[in-house]
Structure 1
Amino acid sequence: MRIGELSRKTGVSVRALRHYEAEGLIGAARGGNGYRDFGDGAVEAVRQIRGMIESGLPIRIVREILPYLDGPAALMPDVPCAYMIGEVARQRDVLDRRIRALTGNRDALDAYLRAARSAAA
């Protein structure tokens, strides 16, 4: 599929898709006319990438962990870089804090809705 169609299916701008490609997060074949041709798995890959970026992960971390989302553990390098292990652990801690905050926000919204619905009934 061409980049415009991928953009429509994922809700991600064409500019962002070009950036993802330049960063090595997604790949596309090129037709004889030079147009990008994304494969069938591109929609799910872009959704995963977008989700990770929206959760606050920097692209350098997304690039490192993307192959492990659906791949075997055998992809792990023999000697992982200590810096990258620390970075991924730090990002995981950040995500945990965000999840706790989001859970608290959701619980507050639920409490508000229960109270508002009771008052309206």
Structure 2
Amino acid sequence: MMRIGELSKKTGATPRALRYYEEQGLLTAERRGNGYREYAPNAVATVETIRSLLDLGMPSSLIKDVLPCTVGERSEAACPDLLRQVATLRDDVRVRAARFAAIDASLSSYLTANA
């Protein structure tokens, strides 16, 4: 078991972020009599997964549903449906990436023409 400071140090997530993940139901901790949070050793992998999914632009409400499919608590009934949601999110990211690439090309062309 580890306290919030140790989990923060191991994952790079701030204690505030860890408390937020807990509030959102993404991370669990046991409370000791003194009020300290204690996290299981697998919390490091869970936090790393949460951070990766957030970096991909996934909202925390979807992460809550996706997380069990990523950490070994797979629900065969839920995961295929979630995979479709993740695929939709990925497709949206690809569309936005293509739009940004077009903007980048346009700006580069403008800069080259006016240099």
Aligned: 1:44 with 2:45: yes
1:66 match: 67
Q: Identity across aligned pairs (percent)?
A: 43
Supply the distance in 2 between the matched residues of 1:64 and 1:8 (Cα, whole angstroms).
Answer: 26
Q: 1:55 to 1:28 in 2, by over 3 A?
A: same
Match for residue 90 of structure 1 among 81, 88, 91: 88
Q: 1:72 to 1:33 in 2, by over 3 A?
A: closer
Q: TM-score, normalized by length of structure 1?
A: 0.67
Unaligned runs of 5+ in 2: 102-115
Q: TM-score, normalized by length of structure 2?
A: 0.70
Runs of 4+ in 1 over 4 A off after TM superposition: 84-87
Supply the distance in 1 between the matched residues of 2:50 and 2:10 (Cα, whole angstroms).
Answer: 14
Deviation, structure 1 residue 87: 4.3
Aligned AA (2:91) = D
Cα RMSD (Å) of the superposition? 2.5
Secondary structure, in 3 states, of the residue corresponding to 1:37?
strand
Deviations 1:14-47 (A, max 9, x none): 1100000000000000111110000000011000
Supply the distance in 1 between the matched residues of 2:44 and 2:25 (Cα, whole angstroms).
Answer: 16
